Structure 1
Amino acid sequence: MTDQTRVIFHVATAADWRAALAAGEYTTSTIGVSLEQEGFIHAARGDQWEHVRRRYYAEVNEPLALLVIDVARLDPPWREDPVGDDTYPHVYGPINADAVVAAVPLAPFG
């Protein structure tokens, strides 16, 4: 990755990420919700992902991973959409596994 690479982030369960590696694509919008159900995959910028993790994943007891997604490698379209007073990136299709340049294990809260 170079300084010119734009990345977005997605908090995933380790199990969902393993399944995506086997299938070649990631299709979980957020914990317990599929891309098909939501219509897009939730993501976050570098300044947002920790807040997302605290707010939506604090009670999750299974291993998590932070997916680092190189948007230049994404097959589906993505965009920043307004959410409240901010914007968040959303991916409008399955994330091809080769767009994920890192899957960083996240330590449990507590």
Structure 2
Amino acid sequence: MPKLPNILHITERSLWEAARERGVYEVSTRGRTLQEVGFIHFSTREQLPRVAAFLYGDDRTGQDDLVVLVVDPARLEAPVRYEAMPPHGEEFPHVYGPVPVDAVVDVERWG
């Protein structure tokens, strides 16, 4: 069975640091939790710049505090589903449960 590619999630550094202390990451997207949305939004490497621009805009203020979590889907217990998002129907990876910090194989500075 081929290895699934890593999936990416952009977030604020403080949210990642808090997750490291708890042992799990549970933020779905900017300002929304896993409990509120039901899944955690992820993207592919190709999708990441557009997702970052959508969530954080072109304003560079505060973007020094953004990081990209690189997650190995094989290390997740929760299901990963690629689902179409409106308006264009592009498929994005969603994780339907918390992300254990040991599933994060790299943390990259954004910007």
TM-score under structure 1 length normalisation: 0.88
Q: CA deviation at 1:35?
A: 0.4
Residue type matched to 2:45 in 1?
A: G
RMSD of aligned Cα (Å): 1.6
**Matches of 1:96 and 1:78, distance apart in 2:** 14
Q: Find the counterpart in structure 2 of residue 44 from structure 1.
A: 43
Q: Which of these residues, 76, 84, 88, is aligned with residue 82 of structure 1?
A: 84
Count of residue pairs brought into register by the alignment = 105
Gapped runs of 5+ residues in structure 2? none
**Matches of 1:96 and 1:76, distance apart in 2:** 10
**Matches of 1:79 and 1:73, distance apart in 2:** 15
Residue type matched to 1:25 in 2?
A: V
Which residues of 2 match residues 16-31 of structure 1 at below 5 A?
16-31=15-30
Residue type matched to 1:82 in 2?
A: A
Q: CA deviation at 1:21?
A: 0.5
Q: Find the counterpart in structure 2 of residue 11 from structure 1.
A: 10
Q: Does 1:91 align with 2:95?
A: yes
**Matches of 2:8 and 2:92, distance apart in 1:** 10
Q: CA deviation at 1:61?
A: 2.2
CA contact (8 A) 1:13 1:65 kept: yes
**Matches of 2:13 and 2:33, distance apart in 1:** 15
TM-score under structure 2 length normalisation: 0.87
| Residue aligned with 1:44, SS | coil
Residue type matched to 1:7 in 2?
A: N
**Matches of 2:3 and 2:34, distance apart in 1:** 28
Q: CA deviation at 1:5?
A: 5.2
Gapped runs of 5+ residues in structure 1? none
